[in-house]
Amino acid sequence: MPLSIPVTWSEAHRLHAPETAVWVGVPIEADELPERADRIRSALEEAGTTVVDAQPHDDSPLLAVHDPGLVEFLRTAWATWQEAGMPAESGQRDVVGYIFPTPGLLAGLESRVPKALSARTGAWSFDTMTAISRGTWEAARGAVDTALTAADLVLAGAPAAYACCRPPGHHVTRSAFGGSCYLNNAAVAAHYLRDAGHERVALLDVDAHHGNGSQSIFWDRGDVLTGSVHVDPAAGWFPHFLGFADESRAGNLNVTLAPGSDDDAWLAGVDQLVAAAREHGSTALVVALGVDAAADDSNSPLGVTEQGFREAGRRLGALGLPTVVVQEGGYVLDTVGPLVRAALEGIEEGGAL
Ligand SMILES: [Zn+2]
């Protein structure tokens, strides 16, 4: 039977093609590549899905979850960097931060927007890995439209829709980008469903890394439940400073896994997220679907199999809620497509769509 979950898609993703990321001061090879999305799309087309072009939306759903200053910075950063001659002056083609207004630096004083362009990036970002290159804004904004178009399909009656978002988004907070993410596609979709009349929405994140941005955006809100199952930051994994089990409280659940965890432990974590959504009384679901918990993905030390992703899909689908699935991580080009396909087929099987 063909996959009935439609895929929303923006060609603009290709415009974001970073060559390097800066880690501990060293340029490393980028792995959040355009080919990821292309491989996913091919695998889903082979499964018989329908591809729907992302429709443009105005900025209001974006500004509902992000600081207008962050959005404006991302929109203008590349052009401003070029116009100021920074590539020639600094030797850096892309926009990369170097000084960050941490609590330790500010010592309680309010952060200001620095005059120097080289310093301004640090006001809106939290790492050096996430460079802004030519086309990053267009791709990130296209990813938001991709998520919103999937939400539109679900609001119009589709049981589920999958947004093939690239770049990913779940690490972005209200006012800071990082972790290879620029705008929080899943958070935008969750708030949009909320605005469209779903009084309680669950945003469940099964990427191998903690969805710190989504957690912080909805931290003080009971209407959007955030839940994340991920490798324990206490074991030394990104985002290092957030995602600990003891951050769980009403409206937020973090399930942490030891490195080496396999299908059984991961699926038990997924079950906890599903139970939390039931208890929350959510009437709509957003799944932040990263597949980097896969055994062959070196971005995490987890060992989830294709069968594990299918089973997770079944358990999420069994909630029986209108579901928007948003792509997050997953970096092994040969397997990213089949893993996403398995998860979506599982959702379909679980929900008897
Ligand atoms: Zn990840």
Whole-number Å distance between alpha carbons of 337 and 13: 16
For residues 31-46, give the mean pLDDT. Answer: 97
Whole-number Å distance between alpha carbons of 39 and 332: 10
> What is the CA(268)–ligand 1 centre distance, in A?
19
The confidence score (pLDDT) of residue 239 equals: 98
The two tokens of residue 4 are 């009935």
> What is the CA(139)–ligand 1 centre distance, in A?
19
Count how many Cα atoms sit within 13 Å of the Cα of residue 39 in the half-sphere of its side chain: 17
Q: What are phi and psi of 118, to 5 degrees?
A: -60, -25
The confidence score (pLDDT) of residue 352 equals: 55
Taking the whole predicted model, whether its pTM rises above 0.95 is answered as: yes
> What is the CA(305)–ligand 1 centre distance, in A?
16
> What is the CA(180)–ligand 1 centre distance, in A?
9
The confidence score (pLDDT) of residue 21 equals: 85
> How does the average pLDDT of the chain come out, rounded?
96
> What is the CA(232)–ligand 1 centre distance, in A?
12
Catalytically active residues are 171
Longest CA–CA separation in the chain, Å: 60
The confidence score (pLDDT) of residue 113 equals: 87
Q: Is the peptide bond before 322 cis (omega within 30 degrees of 0)?
A: no
> What is the CA(142)–ligand 1 centre distance, in A?
20
The two tokens of residue 49 are 């899905």
Cα distances (angstroms) measured from residue 90 to each of 81, 86, 135: 10, 6, 20
Q: Is it the case that residue 207 has pLDDT exceeding 90?
A: yes
